[in-house]
Every structure is written in C-alpha cells, then in structure tokens.
Amino acid sequence: MKAYRAAAVQMTSVPDLEKNLAQAEDLIDLSVRQGAELITLPENFSFLGDEDAKLAQAGAIHTASEEFLKRMARRYQVTLLGGGYPVPAKDGKVFNTALLVSPDGEELARYEKVHLFDVNLPDGNMYRESNTVVSGQRLPGVYPSKDFGIMGLSVCYDVRFPELYRHLSQMGAEVLVIPAAFTAFTGKDHWQVLLQARAIENTCYVIAPAQTGFHNSRRQSHGHATIIDPWGVVLADAGTATGVAIAEINPSRLAQVRRQMPSLSHRVFV
C-alpha cells in the first residue's frame, strides 16, 4: 500500500439515468484534477427517486452503469467504485450492487448489498427496500490492492451492523468503503458517528461517498460524503452541496494507529 489521494463523491441523483451519469462524470473529472487515484461514487449514483421507474428500467440502468464505470476508469486511469446500482434478479427484483473497477476497465470486486432498509421514520417517510431489492446472500470479501491497501466493500444501511465490518477486519481490511444514500432524517444524528465508530473499532480508514438533497418530491439525502482516518479523525467532509471529499490515505498513519491502539490483536471472542 502506498500513500494516495482518495475521493468520496457527493451527488444529487434523480430519476434520470443520462443526467446522473453526466453529473458523475463531471465529479470524476473534478476528483482527478485534484489528484485522486481512487474515486468512489455513492449508492444509487445512476438512478434515484422513483422505485417503479427504476424497476421498469433496471436492465438498461444495469448495462449503462457498468459500461460507464469501465469507460470512466479507462479514460481517467483511476480505480473507480460505483457504490450501488440495480442488477436484475429473480421475480422482477434487483440486487443493489457495488462494483470496483481497475484503470484497465476490469472488474476487481463486486458486492450485493445484504442489509435492506425497511424502516418507518418519524418524519412520515416509509422505506421498503425489500419490496424491490433481493438481499445479497454472501458476506463481502476484501480486495487486496498493492497500491490502495486491503479494501472492504459495503453499502449504506450495512453501516449499522458492526459484525459485517468485524468480518472485514478479520480478513485484513485496511480501508472500508461505505457508499450511501443516507436519509436526511437519520443522517443528522447517526451518519458521522456510525462512520467514526466503524473506523475506530476496526482501526481502518473509512471512505464514504454520499447522496445529498432532494431526489424527488419526498426523498431527501443527508450529504456529508466523508473520509475518516483509523483514529476516527474526519479528514474531509463534502457538506451538503454536490462535490467531492478528498483526503490522503497513508499507510504510515494506519501503522501508527494500530501500534498505539492494538485492539484487533486483543480480541477475546473471534
């Protein structure tokens, strides 16, 4: 693992595939101009807002999303994560899929979101992700990158389940990537503290690209795409506007924190 600059992209995706991909390309370009070599896009980067419309176009969104990720990675010569897009499954549903792509446009790792967001919030919004999404059946694995460290993938609601990240750290993860479309209501209280907890308890960097703003008349995301170091220090926060959070991922800092706080080696129940 070398020291490198990573970007957590912040988008306001809407129910318009082409508009979203154009926005994503602009933000990838901005990230590259700021020196990022690893660029991460949020959950639902290519389509967000109307579930019926997403299901009706799932095949087209899937194909366009994967082609876009591979084309952008090759064009800009970066490693690129698409944090979540629909991949058709059985019974008319989809997998919420994150894909990591190399600068050659080759698939490096794929993860199908396991924990589905079925929640009634006090602000009156109801979410039933399981109505349209099939839960992934496998825990995420890690991807060992010579340049970017041992990377563990997850998606959004997964962040509330620490056992998933303990699994990743037991497999050697050094960088946890948590792309999200966190709701505005829950995000104001829980987003940052959950990300910091996952970083601290696993002594890992956390890279969390995010959605922000309104995606249709009701759905609103919290924003605050964030990069956090293994001590829990917030290195970059994109606020609530579209843009990017960029910070250095440094192996010497990772080693320093793990020397100072060797909690992973002190585990009793494994």
CATH number at residue 177: 3.60.110.10
Average pLDDT over residues 110-131: 92
Residue 25, phi then psi, degrees to nearest 5: -65, -45
Q: How many domains does the chain have?
A: 1
Contact 148, 4 (CB under 8 A): yes
**Rounded mean pLDDT of the chain?**
96
Q: Which domain covers residue 87, as residue numbers?
A: 4-266
Catalytic residue among 51, 156, 174, 204: 156
Residue 123 has pLDDT above 90, yes or no: no
Average pLDDT over residues 217-229: 94
Catalytic residue among 43, 51, 66, 112: 43
DSSP one-letter string for 172-197: T-SEEE--B--BHHHHHHHHHHHHHH
pLDDT of residue 28: 98
pLDDT of residue 142: 97
The side-by-side arrangement of strands in the sheet containing 234-237 is 142-145, 149-153, 175-177, 205-208, 226-228, 234-237
Residue 51 has pLDDT above 90, yes or no: no
pLDDT of residue 95: 97
Task: Out of 52-56, 76-80, 152-156, 220-224, pick the least confident.
Answer: 52-56
Active site residue 156: yes
Active site residue 204: no
Active site residue 43: yes
Residue 269 has pLDDT above 90, yes or no: no
